[in-house]
Amino acid sequence: KNEVEQSPQNLTAQEGEFITINCSYSVGISALHWLQQHPGGGIVSLFMLSSGKKKHGRLIATINIQEKHSSLHITASHPRDSAVYICAVSPTGNQFYFGTGTSLTVIP
Amino acid sequence: GAGVSQSPSNKVTEKGKDVELRCDPISGHTALYWYRQRLGQGLEFLIYFQGNSAPDKSGLPSDRFSAERTGESVSTLTIQRTQQEDSAVYLCASSLRLATEAFFGQGTRLTVV
């Protein structure tokens, strides 16, 4: 059983659509991270959350600690948002458990 | 530079040879992590360094893998007697301290032929 489950695995959207990616986890955590991996393989940290909600530009991340669930939202999606989005949880901070990622394709 | 730097970016090696991968973390970051990502698979934890504490080596897949870090500086991941199943992208990340945001390098793509 994976400690972190993401859905959907694949997502195709039209430019401008509102996108939601979900992450559920089964372990107690000190923090949850949302990462973006581009086709070239580079990974960028988008958010680190331990409670509540964070917003950065068109990206919004929320976390519900009681329900062990987080969502990543992209408003007004754009083709350059096409990437793999990875949820990672950190139980103690010295290690991450990663979801398998959500592959997003935004069509112009 | 301001980010995590890894070298080389690509490495092709013959089966049985040793390889050394390098990671320069962000200056001042005490925590450093190594991960690998095989083609089509998720990220696997390999090893974690925190300051001068003994590293957490629980993710190293075999005794052919070792890693070193001197203080809070550069880390090297060494793979001895490489096998084809070692082919992967090896990613390094650093964070200011435990349980803070992690920043990833661009990775080293290792191909064992």
Mutate to test the interface with B, among A5, A95, A97, A102 (most CBs of B within 10 A): A95
Q: Is B7 helix (H, G, I), strand (E, B) or coil?
A: strand
> Which pLDDT tens digit goes with each residue over B48-69?
888 888 787 878 899 999 999 9
Is A51 at the interface with chain B, CB within 8 A?
A: no
pLDDT of residue A78: 96
Measured in angstroms, the CA of A9 and the nearest CA of chain B are apart by 12
Please report how many Cα atoms fall inside a 13 Å half-sphere around the Cα of residue B67, on the Cβ side: 29
> Which pLDDT tens digit goes with each residue over B83-112?
999 999 999 999 887 666 788 888 899 999
pLDDT of residue A97: 83
Mean pLDDT of chain A: 89
Contact A36, A57 (CB under 8 A): no
> How far apart (Å, rounded) are the C-alpha atoms in residues B59 and B34?
9
* Residue B38: band (very low, low, confident or very high) from pLDDT cuts 50, 70, 90: confident
- Locus of tokens 């005794």: B63
Mutate to test the interface with B, among A6, A43, A96 (most CBs of B within 10 A): A43
Q: Would the CA dihedral through A96, A35, B70, B51 be positive or negative? A: negative
**One-letter amino acid for residue A78 of the chain:** H
Please answer yes or no on whether B104 and A94 come within 8 Å at the CB atom.
Answer: no
Q: Is the pLDDT of residue A1 over 80?
A: no
CA A54 to chain centre: 12
pLDDT of residue A41: 61
Helix (H) or strand (E) holding B45: strand B43-50
Is B89 at the interface with chain A, CB within 8 A?
A: yes
A56 vs B41: which has the higher pLDDT: A56
pLDDT of residue A37: 84
pLDDT of residue B90: 94
